[in-house]
C-alpha cells in the first residue's frame, strides 16, 4: 500500500533567494499571497547576507514566510539548493525576487505537473515591466554555438555571414515560436522553475560549481538525461524585472559569468572543449575587463 504525503503539508513550496532587493521581494510576496487561488503555500526566503532591512521587513509584513538569513553570500545556485532542501512540499517552485505573480499562475503550473508525470520540470510566461512578452527558454548550446556566440570567431561570422548568424540566433531562441503557446524546450530559465521534489533531487539541484549562471542550463540538461520533459507552459504569467539581483554584484558579475561559462562547458562538452573555449575567450575577456574599469 502506497502511503501518501500528510495532508498538512503545503500544496506548493516557493523558494526565493534575495540579495539586496528588499522592495522587489516584498512586492513578490504580496503578489504570491494575493494570487494563491486557495493553495496551501510555503514560502522560503534565503537571504544572501543582504543586511539591508529585508529580514525585518519580511518578518513584519509576512510572518508566515520562513526567512533564512545566510551569514555570507552563497550566490544563486547554492542558496537555491539550500532552500529546495528545506522545502516541505512535493512540488517546489523557485522564483527570482524581481518578479510578481499574476492570476492563477501558481495553480496552473502545479496542475500541469500533477496531471502529467512525464513532465520533469516547467517554466511559464514572463513579461517585461513594460508589458512586452519576455523571450525566455532556449535550446541547449552546442559547442559550436558557444564558440560563435562568445569568442572573436562570432564577430567574424557575424561580419562575413550576417544572415547565417541571424539564423543561428533564431534557431537558439526558438524565434518561430509564439510563447503564448505550450512547447517542450531545452533550457528552462532559472528565474522560474517548478519541479517535483524527487526530480530536484535526482537532477542534483542547481549545481554549486556554477555560482550564478548556467545552473539552469545544466539542471535542464540533467532533467532530460533522466528521460523527463522540460515544458514551457503559458499561464496568466509573471512580471519580471530582469537582473535586479545581478546588478547588485555588477563589478564581479562578468567574472562569474565567464567562469561559469567555462565550468558549464566542461560539465556538458568535456574538459578539452572547455580549455579551447577559455583560450579563445581570452581576448574578449580582456576587452570586457578594460571596458568595466
Domains and CATH numbers, the chain: 12-137+173-240 (3.90.550.10), 139-171+249-293 (no CATH)
The predicted pLDDT at position 201 comes to: 98
Q: Around Cβ 287, how many Cβ atoms within 10 Å? A: 11
> What region does 255 belong to: left with phi over 0, alpha with psi -120 to 50, or beta?
alpha
Q: Which residue has the cell 499571497?
A: 33
- The parts of the chain modelled with pLDDT lower than 70 are 1-7, 243-251, 288-289, 291-293
Query: What is the spatial distance between Cα 191 and Cα 97, in angstroms, rounded to a whole number?
Result: 9
Per-residue pLDDT tens for 44-98?
999 999 999 999 999 999 999 999 999 999 999 999 999 999 999 999 999 999 9
The predicted pLDDT at position 284 comes to: 75
Contact 124, 189 (CB under 8 A): no
- Provide the 8-state DSSP code for 35: T
| Strand 192-196 versus strand 119-127 pairing type | antiparallel
The predicted pLDDT at position 25 comes to: 98
Q: Please, where are the H alpha helices in the chain?
A: 22-34, 54-61, 75-86, 105-115, 143-150, 152-160, 162-172, 197-202, 215-225, 244-247, 250-269, 271-292
Non-local (6+) Cβ contacts of 278 within 8 A are: 262
Non-local (6+) Cβ contacts of 140 within 8 A are: 186, 187, 217, 220, 221, 268
Query: What is the spatial distance between Cα 119 and Cα 227, in angstroms, rounded to a whole number?
Result: 10
Query: What is the spatial distance between Cα 108 and Cα 14, in angstroms, rounded to a whole number?
Result: 14
Q: Around Cβ 99, how many Cβ atoms within 10 Å? A: 24
Helix (H, G, I), strand (E, B) or coil at 1: coil
The predicted pLDDT at position 230 comes to: 99
Contact 256, 285 (CB under 8 A): no
Question: What would you report as the CA-atom Rg of the chain, rounded to the nearest whole angstrom?
Answer: 19
The predicted pLDDT at position 2 comes to: 35
Q: Around Cβ 241, how many Cβ atoms within 10 Å? A: 16
Amino acid at each position: 500500500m502506497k502511503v501518501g504525503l500528510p495532508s498538512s503539508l503545503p500544496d506548493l513550496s516557493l523558494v526565493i533567494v534575495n540579495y539586496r532587493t528588499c522592495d522587489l521581494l516584498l512586492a513578490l510576496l504580496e503578489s504570491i499571497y494575493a494570487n494563491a487561488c486557495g493553495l496551501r503555500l510555503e514560502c522560503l526566503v534565503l537571504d544572501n547576507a543582504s543586511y539591508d532591512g529585508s529580514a525585518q521587513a519580511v518578518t513584519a509584513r509576512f510572518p508566515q514566510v520562513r526567512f533564512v538569513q545566510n551569514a555570507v553570500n552563497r550566490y544563486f545556485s547554492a542558496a537555491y539548493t539550500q532552500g529546495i532542501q528545506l522545502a516541505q512540499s512535493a512540488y517546489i517552485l523557485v522564483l527570482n525576487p524581481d518578479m510578481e505573480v499574476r492570476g492563477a499562475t501558481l495553480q496552473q503550473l502545479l496542475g500541469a505537473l500533477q496531471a502529467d508525470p512525464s513532465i520533469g520540470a516547467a517554466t511559464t510566461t514572463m513579461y517585461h515591466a513594460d508589458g512586452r512578452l519576455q523571450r525566455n527558454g532556449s535550446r541547449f548550446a552546442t559547442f559550436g554555438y558557444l564558440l560563435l556566440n562568445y569568442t572573436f570567431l562570432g564577430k567574424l561570422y557575424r561580419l562575413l555571414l550576417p544572415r547565417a548568424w541571424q539564423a543561428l540566433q533564431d534557431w537558439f531562441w526558438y524565434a518561430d515560436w509564439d510563447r503564448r503557446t505550450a512547447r517542450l524546450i531545452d533550457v528552462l530559465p532559472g528565474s522560474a522553475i517548478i519541479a517535483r521534489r524527487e526530480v530536484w533531487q535526482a537532477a542534483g539541484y542547481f549545481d554549486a560549481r556554477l555560482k550564478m549562471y548556467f545552473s539552469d542550463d545544466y539542471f535542464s540538461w540533467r532533467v532530460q538525461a533522466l528521460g523527463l520533459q522540460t515544458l514551457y507552459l503559458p499561464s496568466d504569467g509573471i512580471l519580471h524585472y530582469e537582473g535586479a539581483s545581478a546588478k547588485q554584484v555588477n563589478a564581479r558579475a562578468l567574472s562569474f559569468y565567464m567562469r561559469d561559462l567555462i565550468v558549464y562547458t566542461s560539465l556538458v562538452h568535456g574538459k578539452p572543449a572547455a580549455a579551447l573555449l577559455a583560450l579563445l575567450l581570452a581576448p574578449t575577456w580582456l576587452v570586457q575587463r578594460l571596458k568595466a574599469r
